[in-house]
Amino acid sequence: MALRLCATLLVIQCSYALAADKPNVLFIAADDMNCDLAAYGDALVKTPNLDRLCKIGVRFDAAYCQQPLCGPSRASLMTGLRPDTLDMHTLKHELRQKNPNIVTLGQMFRNHGYYAARAGKIYHYGNPSMIGTDGNDDPATWDERHNPIGIDRSQQENITRYGAGRQNDKNLGISMAWWDPASRDDEHTDGMVASKIIELIGQKKEEPFFLAAGFFNPHCPYVAPKKYFDLYPIDQITMPDLAEAKRDLEDVPAMAFMRDTKNWPYYFKDVTIEEARKCKQAYFATISFVDAQVGRLLDALEEHDLMDNTIIVFWSDHGYFLGEKGLWYKRKAFERSARMPLIISVPGMSQNQHTNKPVELVDLYPTLADLCDLEAPANLEGQSLRPLLDDPETTTWTKPAVTQVWHNRKAWGYSIRTDRYRYTEWLEGRAGRELYDHAKDPDEITNLADDPQHEQTVAQLSNQLTKYVRLQPNKR
């Protein structure tokens, strides 16, 4: 009996030792969040918990999505493959249909003995229409899936709508709309997402886990408890001058903002500057609401003494326009749409540092496989970010970031971002080109693509970009 008890204790001790050798991963996603954050130097938008995460990790100041649209961006991130390789460029639920044998990020962790679960939006969901469902999720990725539904979805009749959405209850997924109820965080979907992940952290703390918290904010409609709106008095919210914004677009190919032309500015017909200002305030409020939920997750890790053995990744699926150039939303190849926040904290690696090296969301899969010492699929198209986590200023990282936009078979383009330049080709240059020098023009005001002085730069970047243009015939 004693021998059997000793053997049992040895097995348990060995199990704990193996679990301790495997770092946990807390994978935190925001929806449509740009870099208007205190953590990224914005003087207005309050993000104390993302600031807190930056202090224990590395902030990536030049992180870019593969496509500024939720569905393909998230599918690319979760597979480590570019949208052209997946043949996914829309919001359709077709990951397994087109790629039946793919091994997703969560699936890789499961294959190596991790518990993998999510709450909320990791793959694409119609937001808010699919809240409370599995959306376009992939069952093979997870051991468990949780789909809370809060008042932002169940009471959406209270949401104020502007422009074309004033009388439209069906299309809140692309809307100028907001609501500031006097509510508790845990009455909202994102508050419930955080609560479920906190519960799972407590339940699974003795085994290696890959837990994904998928927040739906700040995606429209912009809904958060009133206390977060109160952080942003409306008189502090500024909007770009529209005359100047229109001039910004004079030297830009029409295809670059084709979805915004009909009702410019602000995408919808008859949206006033004051209404846009209110939506911008609401967008900032939802950012601070998400930030508060991130703080709850960090508190849970600390409470369970897991900070020293947990890799934390915070990411958004793409950036977002809030009236710059008179534009709103995403789905554009400009910096403001392609760039998004990315913060990674790894125990024992760089802390309170940042890097300006261009990186891509497609790099996250190989990074986590590398950091957790797991065998990843051989066909991944990103690169491990370990060199930048070791030394954010390393000169060995030279890979550019590539973002593509696909509207239809007659309207698509690719954009490459290097340390200094953003260069974009529409229909391989047939529908126009863009070149912006970010050393002098971070807001991408002046298109240098046709400037003879930059002919050599255009040629070099076009040559670099060519190998990434792999749109399949059915999409051309």
Residue 88 confidence (pLDDT) above 70: yes
The mean per-residue pLDDT over the stretch 331-347 comes to 98
Smallest Cα–Cα separation from 219: which of 139, 138, 135, 296?
135
Complete edge-to-edge strand list for the sheet that includes strand 160-162:
160-162, 176-179, 222-223
Residue 17 confidence (pLDDT) above 50: no
Distance, CA of 26 to CA of 211 (rounded, Å): 5
- Architecture of domain 23-392 in this structure: 3-Layer(aba) Sandwich (3.40)
Query: Out of 65, 70, 279, 372, which one is annotated catalytic?
Result: 70
Q: Place 21 in a pLDDT band, splitting at 50, 70 and 90.
A: confident
Residue 316, beta-bridge partner list = 30
Q: Place 330 in a pLDDT band, splitting at 50, 70 and 90.
A: very high
Distance, CA of 168 to CA of 179 (rounded, Å): 15
Smallest Cα–Cα separation from 416: which of 343, 360, 355, 356?
360
Residue 14 confidence (pLDDT) above 60: no
The mean per-residue pLDDT over the stretch 422-449 comes to 98
Residue 311, beta-bridge partner list = 25
The mean per-residue pLDDT over the stretch 378-386 comes to 98
**Domain ranges in the chain?**
23-392
Distance, CA of 207 to CA of 460 (rounded, Å): 49
Query: Out of 89, 124, 188, 354, which one is annotated catalytic?
Result: 124
Report how far Cα 309 is from the mean position of its chain's Cα atoms. 24
The mean per-residue pLDDT over the stretch 81-106 comes to 97
Helix, strand and coil percent figures for the chain, each rounded to 5: 40, 20, 40
Model pTM?
A: 0.95
465: number of Cβ within 10 Å: 20
Residue 15 confidence (pLDDT) above 90: no
Q: Are strands 359-360 and 401-408 parallel, antiparallel or unpaired?
A: unpaired
65 catalytically annotated: no
220 catalytically annotated: no
